[in-house]
Structure 1
């Protein structure tokens, strides 16, 4: 589970004449003035990202709606990363930038592997149906074994990013600038929520794959003639659902790659 969101800081505009600013000294006052360039919670891009972070988690299982929720969250993260002010904050905090880059690179790699696994499952599903139609138990058993191998691969992908779903608190002493601390916290939480939703979807696909493999008994082909009509309807429904998932997963993969590019661009000084 993702830790409760801790980001409750407000982003007041710096006032040079205010007493706290005078007590901080000239150096800190310049820091405060600089922080006003960072987008606050009222900024449309930040507000949209917060909406995606706070949205209800996807149901247990995999569905186009669950995939779409991840895609919307990643798109909102990418929008924030593309703001020049965010890039400046990233370059001022290289340790945090590296941590964020590592998290989203791992998520991008996981979603790339997940996309390949889902496409493999689609091919195996067609192979299993062909084996049943042709009354070929050996071919069906081979497809079932491949389903189980792919299910284990997807389960491993979920385990590989599970630790990212825990958003660790930031050390307050390291963030004298409230605006930078808040943007840092929002992006950190976004990575954690993306991981949590991804784990749920990955495990949903793995569970479905395991169930399909279990249904591929060596005698499945014997009952095909008696259930031909109902099986045809089930096949059409499964194909439609799989197509929706595959399209959504493709969008998520492209969004994760876009974030990788945006992060690298943000932390790389212009030549």
Structure 2
């Protein structure tokens, strides 16, 4: 990636130490996105990396030269788009948090039924149906949020038109944030089921291998759809793993949510001065 200070007159000839750090964090996030993985640790790494990237942004926004550049009239269009995009990302973050909370609540209720040894098969079956119904609602919300993100156009900036480095950097942050959130939403919703004709033509060994590659959400979905007295123990193990996964994601999202709000407030304060 080209160095930011080489293409901008807004930053000193000797780059601020946070600029190389910003570029390193951005490259790391892009590397995470380039690797396809269904592991929850992959999503957690992306959320943590995004938080570190936004921390760099916050430190860049306190620099007087960057504040002056963002307040210039010629950059108003770009800054307005960045602010609008940041609000949308805050909304998506809230949607993901609500989805995790809803899933975890259903998860805990179902685990409670399983742990009560005196629970009837009918009670267990009823709670499974409630869980799967809740998952359908969550999946629908995730797919809609993904479509909404895809509909948000992030216009590229011509770096030769005098646009300052900080504006370009903010746009790149917004772009990678969109990408990370799409990965997160897809992770929560799980993969779309293949067609029935495809399922009927694959071998059982392939199905087992395919299920082993599913993430915690999708494994629970698969376990409960075929749950009976023989599969209850397996379902409980999957639910416990999902609960730990959700706790980890909720913690990362909550921290990221606060960081997104802080960055947005910093931008608003710069424009209001």
Classify the TM-score, shorter chain: 0.7 to 0.9
- Preserved contact between residue 154 and residue 202 of structure 1 (Cα < 8 Å): yes
Aligned to 1:53: 26
Structure-2 change in CA distance of 1:261 and 1:41 (3 Å):
farther
Please state whether the residue corresponding to 2:6 is helix, strand or coil: coil
What is the rounded CA distance, in whole Å, between the counterparts of 1:142 and 1:171 in structure 2? 51
Match of 1:79 among 59, 75, 79: 59
- For the 8 Å contact 2:219–2:238, the answer to whether it is kept is no
Alignment-derived partner of residue 267 in structure 1? 271
Q: Match for 1:42 among 5, 10, 15?
A: 15
Q: With structure 2 as the length reference, what TM-score do the two structures score?
A: 0.74
| Cα distance change on mapping 1:64 and 1:187 into 2, 3 Å | same
Tell me the residue number matched to 2:44.
64
* Match 2:227 to one of 220, 226, 230: 220
- Taking structure 1 as the reference length, what is the TM-score of the superposition? 0.74
Distance in 2, matches of 1:80 and 1:234, equals 43
CA drift at 1:236: 4.3
Q: Deviations over 1:185-217 (max 9, x none)?
A: 222111101111121122112115455334323
Any residues of structure 2 matched to 1:145-224 within 5 Å, and which? 145-164=133-152, 167-171=154-158, 175-176=161-162, 180-207=163-190, 208=215, 209-217=217-225, 220-223=227-230
C-alpha distance 155-205 of structure 1, shift in aligned 2 (>3 A): same
Offset at residue 141 of structure 1 (A): 0.4
Gaps of 5+ in 1: 13-34
Q: Give 1:7 deviation, angstroms.
A: 6.4
Once residues 102 and 150 of structure 2 are traced to their aligned partners in structure 1, the CA distance between those partners, rounded to angstroms, is 23
The equivalent position to 1:257 in structure 2, one of 255, 261, 267, is 261
CA drift of 1:66 comes to 2.5
1:12-55 CA-partner distances (Å, limit 9, x unpaired) = 8xxxxxxxxxxxxxxxxxxxxxx45x356831222222112111
**Cα 1:239–1:99, aligned 2, differ >3 Å: closer, same or farther?**
same
* Number of residue pairs matched by the alignment: 233
Secondary structure of the residue aligned to 2:26 is helix
1:124 is matched with which residue: 85, 106, 116? Answer: 106
Structure 2 residue aligned with 1:247: 251
- Pair 1:200–1:6, CA change in 2 (3 A): farther
2:197 aligns with none
CA distance in structure 1 between the partners assigned to 2:16 and 2:259 by the alignment: 22
Q: Give the Cα separation in 2 of the matches to 1:203 and 1:196.
A: 11
